């Protein structure tokens, strides 16, 4: 081995004892550099992860609680039992009996109109009796029947109490009998709101 | 060497997890106290009829407030970014006194449904906040501060729809409000009162529904008259029971309005009973309208409690 070294053109004596420490220093330097590089990479990774998670948290914040908002002093759920905000819907009020009576009133009113000369000349006090004529009587052009105190129709109306509506309908302020719209509006009560 | 390389991920991975958690938490909790002004920010003070407002230099006083139908305020004070109120701003003033609801009825009538309301704590007092009301091509945040024996103070933040930055700035101004010569009271809804009132109204509602069904199915006038009288009595007893409740100060006007509405409903059903008893057909249309109007008034009075921050169904 020595001979071979001597035959080299640039025969510089190299002793193994010098080479070993040199190699050790190179390894340490490379290792230290690797550690530094790993540290830097780790720190950058940490910064990246922090930034990403910060962005995620910031993006989720408006959905959970709006940014830049004053927090409520008391959540509404802690206000106790719920108070109904409105009365629940109820079925409309309907007066069946009055409907029947009013229908008769309208028919009778029409009969009064048809029985022109005599019926229209009846005094107002008699008009209620005319209003009590049942529907079939309208077809027969006999207008004296009301005056003969024809009994109440058999639709369940009570005798004396039937007069006020008929009288009111016939002797309305404008002198006209109860109109159809008046009749229909008074038949049902829809106050369900 | 290999051992140390292998141990590196073991150290780094938990650190990354911790960093990730911290980053997320910092991101989600950042700016949780928006009411504090930025450090070094120059604040000006504007004074209205009974309010003092601190506002940043980027906002200025303005003179021509935009019109918000239903939200008319007395003694208006207007602040706007750059002094241009057409786009965004803060309108403060006073609502009429003695109303049972924080918002004027004229405005509530224009809003679809019941507005969302919260009781928020400002720097010195509490306020009702009605958030994100959309209308007039703008988004509104309305703050109402009731006062003892005075007009409620109204603060209306408005901005173009979708522009929340102006509303956030406006909210910071609102948070600094100070009332001058006015005293306020606690606005937090009372759970105990809500329980009592809710039970009372629910019981009335149940009885009303039963009686209305019976009225609907009744065929004789005297039956209807009796049922209407019973229902009238239920409304009267509900009004009496309501008067016996001790409301929080914030709900006293609403309770008075509800008691009045219940009494009017009692009168309406009494009139219906009378019309049925007399079989006066002309009176039915009148009582129909009267009953309908009275029950609408009860509904409006109940809505006031929802506007006061009480839970509602």
Q: Summarize chain A as % helix, strand, coil (round to 5).
A: 60, 5, 35
Across the interface, whether the CB atoms of B190 and A80 are under 8 A apart is answered yes
Do the interacting molecules here have an ipTM over 0.85? no
Name the residue of chain B whose CA is nearest to A56's CA.
B24
Say if residue A102's pLDDT is above 50: no
- Contact present, B50 and B182 (Cβ < 8 Å): yes
Structural domain includes residue B58: yes
Asked whether residue A73 is assigned to any structural domain, the reply reads: no
In 3-state terms, what secondary structure has residue B175?
helix
Question: Is residue A77 one of the residues assigned to a domain?
Answer: no
Name the A residues in 15-34 with CB < 8 Å from any B CB.
Answer: 31
Nearest-CA distance from B67 to chain A in Å? 25
The overall pTM is greater than 0.80: no
pLDDT at A187: 26
What CATH number corresponds to the domain at position B125? 3.40.1000.10
Tell me if B106 is assigned to some domain: yes
Q: What domain range is B168 assigned to?
A: 43-179
Q: How far apart are CA B168 and CA A22, in angstroms?
A: 67
**Same-domain status, B239 and B201:** yes
| Position A106 in a domain | yes
pLDDT tens, residue by residue, B173-196: 999 899 988 889 999 999 999 999
Q: Say yes or no: B71 and B136 in one domain.
A: yes
Chosen domain end from B136, B154, B179? B179
Query: B231 and B269 in contact (C-beta within 8 Å)?
Result: yes
Q: Is B267 among the domain residues?
A: yes
Residues B247 and B119 in one domain: no
Q: Tokens for B43, please give them.
A: 């604040």
Average pLDDT, chain B: 87
Per cent of chain B over pLDDT 70 is 92
Say if residues A83 and B194 touch (Cβ distance below 8 Å). Answer: yes
Domain presence at residue B14: no
Mark whether B55 and B171 lie in a shared domain.
yes
Flag the least confident range among A99-108, B2-11, B108-117, B234-243.
Answer: A99-108
Does residue A60 sit in the same domain as residue A98?
no
Token readout for A192 is 């369900």
Does residue A83 lie in a domain region?
Answer: no
Total domain count, chain A: 2
Task: Please tell me which of the candidates A55, A85, A189 has its beta carbon nearest to residue B114.
Answer: A85
Q: pLDDT for B5-40, tens place per residue?
A: 556 667 778 888 888 888 888 877 664 444 445 555
Q: Do A189 and B291 touch (CB under 8 A)?
A: yes
Q: Are residues B202 and B287 in the same domain?
A: yes
Cβ within 8 Å, pair A68-B202: no
For the cut 60, the answer to whether the pLDDT of residue A122 exceeds it is no
pLDDT at A129 over 70: no
For residue A150 the two structure tokens come to 């024809």
Give burial (CB, 10 Å; 0-12/13-18/19+) of B222.
middle
Looking at the structure of chain B, the number of domains it has is 2
The pLDDT score that the predictor gives to residue A18 is: 53
Give me the domain span that covers residue A10: 2-64
SS3 B131: strand
| Whether residue A100 sits in one domain with residue A179 | yes
Domain identity same for A107 and A42: no
Are B233 and B266 part of one and the same domain? Answer: yes
pLDDT exceeds cutoff 80 at B2: no
């Amino acid at each position: 081995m020595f001979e071979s070294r001597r035959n080299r053109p640039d025969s510089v004596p190299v002793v193994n004892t010098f080479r070993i420490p040199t190699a050790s220093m190179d390894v340490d330097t490379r290792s230290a550099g690797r550690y530094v590089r790993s540290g830097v990479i780790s720190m950058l990774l940490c910064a990246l992860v922090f930034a990403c998670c910060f962005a995620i948290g910031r993006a989720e914040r408006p959905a959970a609680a709006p940014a830049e908002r004053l927090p409520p002093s008391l959540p509404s759920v802690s206000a106790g039992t719920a108070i109904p905000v409105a009365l629940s819907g109820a079925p409309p009020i309907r007066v069946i009996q009055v409907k029947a009576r009013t229908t008769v009133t309208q028919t009778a009113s029409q009969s009064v109109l048809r029985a022109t000369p005599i019926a229209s000349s009846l005094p107002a006090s008699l008009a209620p009796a005319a209003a009590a004529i049942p529907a079939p009587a309208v077809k027969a052009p006999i207008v004296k029947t009301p005056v003969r105190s024809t009994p109440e129709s058999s639709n369940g109306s009570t005798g004396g109490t039937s007069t006020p509506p008929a009288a009111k309908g016939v002797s309305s302020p404008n002198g006209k009998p109860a109109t159809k719209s008046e009749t229909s509006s008074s038949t049902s009560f829809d106050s369900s709101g | 060497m290999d051992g140390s390389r292998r141990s590196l991920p073991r150290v780094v991975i938990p650190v990354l997890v911790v960093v990730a958690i911290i980053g997320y938490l910092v991101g989600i909790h950042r700016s949780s106290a928006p009411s504090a002004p930025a450090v070094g920010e120059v604040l000006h003070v504007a004074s209205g009829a009974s309010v003092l407002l601190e506002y940043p230099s980027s906002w200025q006083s303005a003179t021509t407030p935009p019109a918000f139908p239903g939200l008319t305020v007395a003694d208006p004070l207007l602040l706007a970014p750059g002094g241009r109120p057409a786009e965004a701003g803060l309108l403060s003033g006073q609502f009429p006194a003695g109303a049972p609801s924080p918002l004027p009825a004229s405005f509530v009538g224009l809003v679809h449904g019941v507005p969302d309301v919260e009781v928020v704590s400002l720097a010195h007092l509490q306020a009702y906040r009605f958030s994100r009301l959309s209308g007039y091509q703008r988004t509104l945040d309305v703050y109402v501060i009731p006062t003892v024996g005075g007009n409620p103070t109204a603060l209306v933040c408005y901005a173009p729809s979708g522009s929340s930055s102006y509303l956030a700035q406006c909210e910071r101004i609102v948070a600094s409000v100070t009332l001058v010569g006015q005293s306020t009271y606690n606005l937090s809804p009372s759970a105990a009162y809500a329980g009592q009132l809710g039970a009372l109204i629910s019981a009335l509602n149940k009885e009303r529904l039963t009686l209305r069904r019976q009225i609907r199915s009744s065929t004789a006038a005297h039956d209807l008259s009796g049922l209407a009288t019973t229902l009238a009595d239920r409304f009267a007893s509900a009004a009496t029971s309501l008067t016996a409740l001790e409301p929080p100060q914030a709900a006293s006007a609403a309770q008075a309005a509800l008691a009045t509405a219940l009494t009017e409903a009692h009168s309406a059903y009494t009139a219906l009973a009378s019309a049925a008893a007399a079989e006066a057909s002309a009176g039915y249309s009148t009582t129909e309208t009267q009953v309908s109007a009275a029950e609408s008034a009860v509904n409006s009075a109940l809505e006031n409690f929802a506007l006061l921050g009480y839970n509602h169904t």
